Copies of this chain bind each other. A is one copy, B any other.
Amino acid sequence: MSTPALIALDWGTTSLRAYLLGDDGRALNTRTSSAGIMKLPEGGFDQAFEETCGAWLDANARGKAPLPVVAAGMVGSAQGWVEAPYVETPAGADALVAGIVTVKTARGVTVNVVPGVLERGTLPNVMRGEETQIFGALVASDPSLDAESGALIGLPGTHAKWAFVRDGRIERFYTFMTGETFGVLRDHTILGRTMHPSATHDESAFVRGVDTARDAGHPGMLATIFSTRTLGLTGQLSAEQQADYLSGLLIGHELRGLNEVLARENAALAGKTLALIGNDALCDRYRAALARFGCDDAQTVAHATEHGLYRIAAQAGLVSAPARAA
């Protein structure tokens, strides 16, 4: 059993996940709270922190210095506890460490807030929290991922990210509003009216959606999504299949777009090795969709968040030893 060494926070818009990490970087305890930064009252950060981590701090006080605390995610945004201005691409772990901004809690503990990453350009991109997971994945995953051609790491979700990492630095990345767009199309447009919820995932409907988006011959996503309805009207898709079909369509459009970006540098998803970070069910969907693009080597990296937070804390001198790969 390792000794508690670090409190690590993944503090996003809708939830707060806190890890008590041992001196080997592994989680000794985890607490999840719904105290996302958009749900807190004015000045609510201190209270949410105390409720989630106070007992850990008390138990490990022992008259010594309190446990160090590191936090990543929207907690460092302009709407967060303290703003940690974005560092710009290409961004390595060293830049993230240099960009840490601290805030003192009511009980006098210092919280080290990791900055997000900004890529400038005509289509700028931002991330907060994912940069930490990416560096965690690089620690935890097969070293072959970051070979000379660089690593491609996908983070499915509400706002899916795809990041290109080379020599330990995030070079560029894209944001796809896939999860959020799926939710509003299902819940707020005509497409939801003919859908019936289904307890089981319909793989054939999902794959049909992926293939439809992948194949040439259609005039883009604004048109293909309407087929969710018309395939129902023409008896080709049951009401229970329509949500999985739409999910496949949108993930397919995301991967098609990613593939087009890769094609411009003479690369492709087909045959590529890449890593996924996210919940298992969603990563499974992405793996199934990637297979339709010829990519069969997509590994889901577990514990990327804890690994990333521990690594940054170690590099910042908050803990003594770097975490070992899981």
Stretch among A137-145, A149-157, A184-192 lining the B interface: A184-192
What residues on B are CB-neighbors of A261 within 8 Å? 219
For A223, the chain B residues whose CB sits under 8 A away are: 123, 174-177, 254, 257
Quick check: is A221 within 8 A (CB to CB) of the other chain? yes
Task: Evaluate contact between B222 and A260: CB separation under 8 angstroms.
Answer: no
A222 touches B181 (CB 8 A): yes
Do A230 and B189 contact each other (CB < 8 Å), given the known contacts A175-B223, A176-B219, A222-B177?
no
Q: State the CA gap A177–B219 with chains docked (Å).
A: 12
> A270: CB under 8 A from chain B?
no
Determine how close the nearest CB of chain B comes to the CB of A171; give it in whole angstroms.
Answer: 15
Secondary structure type dominating chain A contacts: helix
Q: In the complex, which residues 238-266 of chain A have their Cβ closer than 8 Å to any Cβ of chain B? A: 250, 253-254, 256-258, 260-261, 264
Contact (Cβ within 8 A) A221 B218: no
How many Å lie between the Cα of A218 and that of B220 in the bound state? 13
Contact B224 A250 (CB under 8 A): no
Cross-chain contact B221 with A222 (CB below 8 angstroms): yes
| Bound complex: CA A180 to CA B188 (Å) | 9
Query: Which residues on the B side are within 8 Å of A227 (C-beta)?
Result: 122-124
B253 close to A221 (CB less than 8 A): yes
The reply on A103 being an interface residue by CB < 8 A is no
Residues of B within 8 A of A176 (CB): 219-220, 222-223, 226
Complex contact B177–A257 (CB within 8 A): no
Q: How many copies does the complex hold?
A: 2
Using CB atoms, name the residue of chain B closest to A228. Answer: B177
Q: Does the CB pair A125–B221 fall under 8 Å?
A: no
Q: Is the CB of B189 within 8 A of A122?
A: no
A231 lies within 8 A of B124 (CB): yes
Contact A180 B175 (CB under 8 A): no
A227 and B124 CA atoms in complex are apart in Å by: 6
Total interface residues on A, using CB and 8 Å? 48
Chain B residues, CB < 8 A from A125? 226, 230
Q: Does A118 contact B (CB under 8 A)?
A: yes
- Chain B residues, CB < 8 A from A122: 212, 227
Q: Name which residue of chain B comes closest to A251, CB basis.
A: B222
Using Cβ atoms and an 8 Å threshold, which residues of chain B touch A200?
A: none
Name the contact of A174 in the complex, choosing from B184, B190, B219, B254 (C-beta under 8 A).
B219
Residues of B contacting A253 in the complex (Cβ-Cβ under 8 angstroms) = 220-222
Is A233's CB under 8 angstroms from B180's CB?
no
**Contact assessment for B126 and A233 in the assembled complex, using a CB-CB cutoff below 8 Å:** yes
Minimum Cβ distance to chain B for residue A22 (Å):
36
A104 interface residue per 8 A CB criterion: no
Interface string of A191-225 (1 = CB under 8 A from B): 10000000000000000000010000111111111
Residues of A within 8 A of B (CB): 118, 120, 122-126, 159, 174-178, 180-181, 184-185, 187-191, 212, 217-227, 230-231, 233-234, 236, 250, 253-254, 256-258, 260-261, 264
